[in-house]
């Protein structure tokens, strides 16, 4: 079983009930209520089904209901395994070919219309949606929050790291999983807010109604006056041969498996993309005991925060700039998860690129990996916003549905969206100008970088800061009990860098424990040659005093090996503080501890004649398995200027509704010599996701909701 048995941050759930189900006729075990896809991955299954077009293996890709790669036959009905909770006795079978329609013994016996009335419908229970709902609920509005997950918080429930931003405005220094709980507690205190969990919004109608797939089992119409669209974002994918192999999936899917469902999804991982999502995924992988062979970035600079990147480098993960992925390859016969097949990723090939992003001959390297994480950015889930506005419905966006930014910005943006909407609905409120400026700071891109003056330790404790790039962050300054840490006033905002500004440091270690970038140490002189050093540590600390560890500088360069002489755990955030004795001359240069050995990152140059497993060109439409060359040829042959014309090839006609391939079609048009800006956008599907016809009409359901069903605010 691929289960995480210990974790330095997450508490392992107790008392979970094991259940037995069938997978392809064989008994299997999982935990009741967990996502079926996670149970299958925990069993070592990477291939769930096989595509009817060419028999290609289908595995997990998004783990978020946005694609259809994880569809299996569940008790005779095709369903997405990532959205289906495991129950005792479930009969799960791989799809091979097209599913057979079940026989209909009798006609419709009963249909029930269920309705709910509210002032404001909030689509999405992530950080921006919850923040908006809190503000609107405090103003007295009747609010319904509809979210597609059981746990509220959106991507916050996947984040074990501490957040950057403002300690006052958005919980900087607090872990994402804990922020989600704080926001949920706020909602519970508001009687006018109703939360519908496991209930995705699937349609918006002109008469100000929304269709909701409640509990993934029945259909509910919600009548509303206005909308807050806080539906977040979906991960972008990339075009490269082998991009459809099981084992190639989004960084968010990986975090779902590891941090939500505690499934040890991988052993050796390559990450494509150096934005904060990719950097954080590397950190989460290391915390769960997995190896990260490296991060590749096609640009010449890191896209995320430098302090994030430095932290990952210190832990032993290299970041390769000006580097792209060439292709992914499946296991040769007799290797991998299923002997005799090529159903799982086994190798990734990367290469350096020139100034036009073309691979440079002779620079190719091969990594043996079982997972490639795509962290190539996000695309807003704004379909409902566009649809509502086309109908003349009062709708406002919040969070990533409005603009892709960090969760700290999304929380603050949700509050601003709520007040803006309230004013549009007639509330006499003034929006504080400082709110707008605060949000601009929270979503700001990194600014300038500065070098810091070296510090020679004295007999008293002194903090050493290893953040050198301007980003929105201030918890180290706000947590200091003697106000000895300040932000150097260059910009006059929380973008400014911290420095030691007091006369004394009392050695409380709070700044070391709270820093989201693990970029603060404390040092003091013990003798003319020896110093004591305190570093943050967010891994298991089950080693004895005297244990030798490799200590590194700000960007991961080895400095010296030193013994651990003590440890303590910060009770507020669970960060370990490790005490070392080091040489005096090196103490203030040491920024962290290497986590994985250098041999974890080993790559080899492949034989130039070795082209094993290469696919002619990449898949664009995953649902219908349409390749890039087919689309480009069709565009040229038919002078296509409307994406809807590609439906003749069945591009965008699959179960995901075009959500995945739509991000890649600009590339196809450009290769065909067509300016993507001149192409008519594709039509939106009437329903956002598939719903069985019987559940749309609530066939066979007993009446629920009591005598007040359908009344304002009653679910």
Q: What is the pLDDT of residues 511-541, one digit of tens each?
A: 999 999 999 999 999 999 999 999 999 999 9
Which pLDDT score is estimated for 610?
A: 63
Cβ-based neighbour number of residue 463 at 10 Å: 25
Which pLDDT score is estimated for 339?
A: 39
Q: What are the backbone angles phi and psi of residue 550, rounded to the nearest 5°?
A: -80, 120
- b/e burial code for range 175-213 (CB count within 10 A of at least 16 → b): bbbbbbbebbebbeebebbbbbebbbbbbbeeebbbbbb
Q: How far apart are CA 647 and CA 624, in angstroms?
A: 11
Per domain, the residue ranges of the chain are 18-99+237-374, 115-233+379-442, 462-601, 616-678
Q: How confident is the model at residue 703 (pLDDT cuts 50, 70, 90)?
A: very low
Instruction: Report whether CATH 3.40.50.300 matches the domain 115-233+379-442.
Output: no
Cβ-based neighbour number of residue 296 at 10 Å: 27
Sign of the CA dihedral running 488, 492, 497, 498: positive
Contact 475, 514 (CB under 8 A): yes
Q: How far apart are CA 160 and CA 153, in angstroms?
A: 13
Q: What is the pLDDT of residues 1-14, one digit of tens each?
A: 699 999 999 999 99
Check residue 558 and report its DSSP letter.
Answer: E
Check residue 441 and report its DSSP letter.
Answer: H
SS3 318: coil
- Whether 77 has a pLDDT exceeding 60, the answer reads yes
Strand partners, 582: 531
Which pLDDT score is estimated for 334?
A: 58
- Whether 187 has a pLDDT exceeding 80, the answer reads yes
Instruction: Report whether CATH 3.40.50.300 matches the domain 18-99+237-374.
Output: no
Decide if 18-99+237-374 and 115-233+379-442 have a common fold. yes
Which pLDDT score is estimated for 145?
A: 98
Q: What is the pLDDT of residues 593-626, one digit of tens each?
A: 999 998 888 899 887 766 544 546 899 999 999 9
The pair of three-digit structure tokens given for residue 247, joined into one six-digit string: 């084992």
Contact 330, 340 (CB under 8 A): no
Which pLDDT score is estimated for 333?
A: 64
Check residue 574 and report its DSSP letter.
Answer: -
Contact 157, 176 (CB under 8 A): yes
- b/e burial code for range 574-612 (CB count within 10 A of at least 16 → b): bbbbbbbbbebebbbbbbbbbbbeeebbebeeeeeeeee
CB proximity list for 504: less than 8 A, separation 6 or greater: 460, 482, 484
**Residue 551 CA: distances (Å) to CA of 18, 315, 534:** 42, 10, 11
The pair of three-digit structure tokens given for residue 504, joined into one six-digit string: 């004394």
Locus of tokens 């980003």: 471
∠ Cα 32 38 40 (to 5°): 95
Q: How confident is the model at residue 503 (pLDDT cuts 50, 70, 90)?
A: confident
Contact 338, 309 (CB under 8 A): no
Locus of tokens 């300038």: 448
């Amino acid at each position: 079983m691929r289960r995480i048995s210990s974790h330095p941050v997450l508490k392992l759930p107790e008392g979970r009930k094991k259940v037995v189900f069938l997978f392809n006729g064989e008994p299997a075990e999982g935990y009741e209520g967990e996502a079926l896809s996670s149970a299958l991955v925990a069993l070592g299954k990477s291939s769930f089904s096989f595509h009817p077009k060419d028999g290609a293996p289908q595995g997990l890709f998004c783990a978020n209901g946005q694609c259809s790669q994880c569809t299996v036959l569940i008790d005779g009905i095709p369903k997405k395994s990532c959205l289906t909770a495991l129950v005792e006795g479930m009969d799960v079978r791989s799809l091979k070919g097209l599913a057979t329609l079940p026989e209909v013994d009798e006609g419709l016996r009963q249909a029930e219309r269920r309705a709910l009335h509210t002032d404001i419908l909030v689509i999405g229970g992530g950080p921006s949606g919850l923040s908006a709902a809190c503000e609107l609920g405090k103003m007295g509005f009747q609010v319904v929050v509809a979210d597609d997950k059981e746990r509220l918080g959106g991507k916050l429930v996947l984040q074990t790291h501490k957040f950057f931003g403002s300690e006052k405005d958005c919980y900087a220094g607090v872990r994402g999983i804990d922020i989600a709980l704080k926001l949920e507690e706020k909602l519970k205190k508001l009687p006018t807010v109703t939360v519908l969990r496991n209930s995705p919004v699937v349609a918006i109608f002109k008469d100000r109604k929304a269709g909701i797939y409640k509990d993934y089992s029945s259909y509910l119409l919600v009548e509303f006056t206005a909308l807050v669209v806080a539906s977040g974002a979906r991960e972008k994918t990339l075009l490269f041969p082998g991009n459809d192999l099981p084992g190639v999936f989004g960084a968010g899917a990986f975090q779902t498996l590891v941090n939500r469902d505690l499934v040890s999804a991988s052993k050796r991982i390559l990450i494509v993309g150096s934005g904060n999502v990719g950097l954080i995924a590397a950190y989460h992988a290391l915390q769960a005991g997995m190896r990260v062979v490296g991060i590749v970035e096609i640009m010449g600079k890191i896209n995320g925060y430098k302090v994030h990147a430095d932290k990952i480098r210190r832990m032993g993960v290299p970041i390769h700039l000006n580097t792209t992925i060439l292709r992914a390859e499946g296991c040769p016969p007799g290797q991998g998860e299923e002997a005799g097949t090529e159903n799982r990723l086994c190798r990734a090939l990367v290469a350096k690129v020139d100034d036009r992003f073309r691979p440079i001959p002779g620079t190719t390297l091969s990594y043996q990996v079982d997972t490639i994480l795509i962290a190539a950015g996000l695309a807003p889930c704004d379909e409902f916003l566009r649809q509502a506005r086309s109908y003349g419905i009062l709708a406002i966006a919040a969070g990533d549905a409005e603009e892709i930014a960090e969760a700290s910005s999304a929380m603050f943006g949700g509050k601003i969206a709520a007040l803006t909407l309230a004013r549009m609905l007639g509330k006499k409120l003034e929006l504080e100008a400082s709110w707008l400026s605060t949000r601009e700071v929270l979503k700001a891109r990194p600014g300038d970088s500065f070098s810091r003056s070296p510090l020679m330790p004295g007999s008293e404790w002194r903090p050493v800061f290893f953040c050198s790039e301007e980003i929105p962050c201030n918890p180290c300054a706000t947590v200091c009990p003697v106000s000895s840490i300040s932000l150097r006033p260059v910009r006059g905002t929380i973008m400014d860098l911290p420095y030691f500004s007091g006369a004394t440091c009392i050695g409380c270690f709070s700044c070391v424990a709270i820093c989201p970038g693990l970029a603060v140490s404390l040092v003091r002189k013990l003798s003319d040659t020896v110093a004591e050093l305190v570093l943050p540590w967010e891994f298991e600390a089950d080693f004895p005093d005297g244990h030798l560890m490799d200590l590194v500088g700000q960007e991961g360069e080895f400095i010296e090996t030193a013994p651990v002489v003590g440890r303590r755990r910060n009770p507020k955030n669970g960060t370990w503080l490790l005490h070392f004795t080091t040489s005096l001359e090196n103490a203030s240069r040491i920024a962290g501890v290497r986590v994985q050995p250098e041999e974890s990152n080993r790559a080899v140059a492949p034989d130039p004649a070795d082209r094993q497993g290469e696919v002619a060109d990449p898949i664009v439409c995953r649902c219908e398995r349409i390749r890039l060359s087919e689309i480009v040829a069709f565009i040229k042959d038919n002078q296509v200027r409307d994406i809807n014309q590609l439906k003749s090839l069945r591009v965008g006609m699959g179960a995901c509704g075009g959500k995945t391939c739509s991000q890649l079609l600009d590339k196809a048009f450009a290769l065909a010599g067509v300016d993507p800006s001149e192409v008519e956008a594709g039509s939106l599907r009437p329903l956002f996701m598939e719903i069985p016809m019987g559940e749309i009409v609530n066939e066979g359901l007993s009446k629920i909701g009591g005598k007040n069903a359908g009344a304002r605010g009653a679910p």
